[in-house]
A = this chain, B = another copy of it.
Amino acid sequence: MSPRRSVAEALGTRSAILERGVAIASCEGLEGLTIGRLAADLGMSKSGVLGHFGSKEALQLAVLDRAGDVFRAEVWERARPAAPGLARLRAICAAWISYLERGVFPGGCFFVAAAHEFDGRPGAVRDSVEAGFETWRARLEKEARRAVDAGELPAATDAGQLVFELLGAAMALNHALQLHRDPLAVTRARQAMESRLGGVA
Q: Which residues of A contact B (CB under 8 A)?
A: 26-29, 31-32, 106-108, 112-113, 115-117, 119-121, 129-130, 133-134, 160-161, 164-165, 167-172, 175-176, 178-180, 185, 188-189, 191-192
**Besides the known contacts A27-B121, A112-B116, A116-B117, 11 further A-B residue pairs in the complex with CB atoms under 8 A apart:** A28-B120, A108-B120, A119-B178, A133-B180, A164-B169, A164-B172, A164-B185, A164-B188, A165-B165, A168-B169, A171-B172
Interface pair A165/B179, CB less than 8 Å apart: no
Interface pair A120/B192, CB less than 8 Å apart: no
Interface pair B180/A161, CB less than 8 Å apart: no
Interface pair A191/B161, CB less than 8 Å apart: yes
Docked complex Cα distance between A32 and B188 (Å): 34
Interface pair B164/A192, CB less than 8 Å apart: yes
Q: Known contacts A107-B120, A120-B106; is A130 also within 8 Å of B164 by CB?
A: no
20 CB < 8 A contacts A-B: A26-B120, A27-B120, A27-B121, A28-B120, A107-B119, A113-B116, A115-B179, A116-B116, A116-B117, A117-B117, A119-B179, A134-B180, A161-B188, A161-B192, A164-B169, A164-B192, A165-B168, A165-B169, A167-B172, A168-B169
